Amino acid sequence: MVVFNPFVPSYKTNPHLQYARLRAMEPVHRSSALQAWILTRYEDCIAVLRDPRTFSSDGLNASGQLGDSIREQRASSALGQVQTLLTVDPPDHTRLRGVINRAFTPRRAELLRPRIEAISHELLDAIPSVGNFDLMTAFAQPLPVIVIAELLGIPPSERDRFKQWSTKIAATTDLLNSESAIMDARETTLELIDYFNDFIQVRREKPRDDLISALVAAQSTDEQLTHEEILAFAILLLVAGNETTTNLIGNGTLALLDNSEMFQSLRNQPDHFPAAIEEMLRYDSPVQGVVRVAVRDTTIGTQEIARGDMLMLMLGAANRDPAQFPSPDRFDVTREPNRHLSFGLGSHFCLGAPLARLEAEVAFSLLLRRFPHIARGSGNMERGDTFLLRGLTKLPLTTT
């Protein structure tokens, strides 16, 4: 009998041991503890992601106690019933995405390259040329939050508050959350709403060259984002754009340190950075899983999925599926092709993917140029507590 238990210490250290057993023995696994189906094969995750008519992104469609819990949590949310890009289905998702796409474009992200480089240099300047430092607090955590804050138009004085807000909300990304975590997230969301309410009104009256101003002005033919939808997207971007990129930088650095041959190859051939970023995303995905709900009876493999059943698509497992990736447990910065699922697929493909890739490319190119001989430092690394987001909160390094 195979069991999926993401709450044991060994899972936090290496979830791929459980993933491999599930793929081999029960790739569509029913977890009674999580009240959900656990999918670990690439082809199954692809099929679900490509079929939003059968598999909804909205947890309100879930049945049973889990659905009741989600509905209760949503009803008490500080944002009320306002949907975000993560939880809404077509056609509402199509409308929201269409309006936001016009404001949050790949070109807007690319225009940030000089600022991302300048911010990275500023952070790296503060790291001692010889000695110990923690990558996460010195570089991986502040870089994304500064970039997101500047993208939104938030002043530098608010950066620390934004990081604290992001961390508290990200703590409730799992299916099962403690009452204290839910209350912390609610209080944090209320603080963010108060902050953004005033900020959005200022941008309505005096627009600037920032994303909030663009969202206020963005219109489709006959639709415009409501004030509440702008609030929801700003909060979503704060969390998704911050936590996931932080995880990418931390996980990617650890992968390089644990694979000295690939580390040396990347130092010698910096033109491999784009491919290396894709491999970091595949090898140790910042987002390990996404959730869907069946809206009609269906089958996956040999399993019958009932309407209202919750499914957890373990993207981290799909990214190590040997049926899709040769030698999947090998970290290879030259891997081609590399059709990983770390940014999702289909209509819900990550809107912030261009920005995340850009930040990571700049971060790693400058980090390795400045410190070509970094190594693991004294002290233990530490990981975050959620199992749908995988990342480090502490990674001691030393420079020589």
Whole-angstrom Cα distance, residue 90 to residue 253? 37
Q: What are phi and psi of 303, to 5 degrees?
A: -95, 140
The answer to whether residue 170 sits within a structural domain is yes
**CA dihedral sign of residues 372, 374, 375, 380:** negative
The answer to whether residue 57 sits within a structural domain is yes
Domain of residue 160 covers 9-399
| pLDDT digits 0-9 by tens, 127-176 | 998 999 999 999 999 999 899 988 988 888 887 787 788 777 776 666 55
| pLDDT digits 0-9 by tens, 67-118 | 887 787 777 666 666 778 888 898 888 888 888 888 888 888 888 999 999 9
Helix, strand or coil, per DSSP, at residue 383: strand
* The two three-digit tokens of residue 104, written as one number: 């949050």
Whole-angstrom Cα distance, residue 360 to residue 342? 14
* The two three-digit tokens of residue 319, written as one number: 């990214």
pLDDT above 80 (res 182): no
Percent of the chain beyond pLDDT 90?
55
CATH number of the domain at 92, please: 1.10.630.10
The answer to whether residue 336 sits within a structural domain is yes
Q: What are phi and psi of 376, to 5 degrees?
A: -60, 135
Lowest mean pLDDT among 63-72, 196-205, 295-304: 63-72
The answer to whether residue 4 sits within a structural domain is no
pLDDT of residue 223: 65
Q: What region does 40 belong to: left with phi over 0, alpha with psi -120 to 50, or beta?
A: alpha
Decide which of 56 and 156 is more confident: 56
Whole-angstrom Cα distance, residue 330 to residue 334? 11
Whole-angstrom Cα distance, residue 204 to residue 182? 32
Percent of the chain beyond pLDDT 70?
95
| Mean of pLDDT values over 203-219 | 85
pLDDT of residue 109: 85
Please, what is the angle between helix 92-103 and helix 227-258, to 10°?
70
Q: How far apart, in Å, do the first and last CA atoms of the chain sit?
A: 49
Contact between 309 and 55 under an 8 Å Cβ cutoff? The reply is: no
pLDDT above 60 (res 42): yes
Q: Specify the amino acid at residue 257.
A: L
**CA dihedral sign of residues 101, 229, 351, 52:** negative
Number of domains in the chain: 1
Tokens 């190859």 sit on residue: 265
Whole-angstrom Cα distance, residue 352 to residue 287? 13
The answer to whether residue 161 sits within a structural domain is yes
The answer to whether residue 2 sits within a structural domain is no
Average pLDDT score, the chain: 89
Q: Which pTM value belongs to this model?
A: 0.92
Contact between 144 and 359 under an 8 Å Cβ cutoff? The reply is: yes
The answer to whether residue 3 sits within a structural domain is no
Lowest mean pLDDT among 29-33, 79-83, 124-128, 375-379: 79-83
| pLDDT digits 0-9 by tens, 167-176 | 777 766 665 5
Q: What is the DSSP string of 279-336?
A: HHHHHT-SB--EEEEESS-EEETTEEE-TT-EEEE-HHHHTT-TTTSSSTTS--TT-S
Decide which of 190 and 50 is more confident: 50
* The two three-digit tokens of residue 135, written as one number: 């990558």
The answer to whether residue 268 sits within a structural domain is yes
pLDDT of residue 357: 96
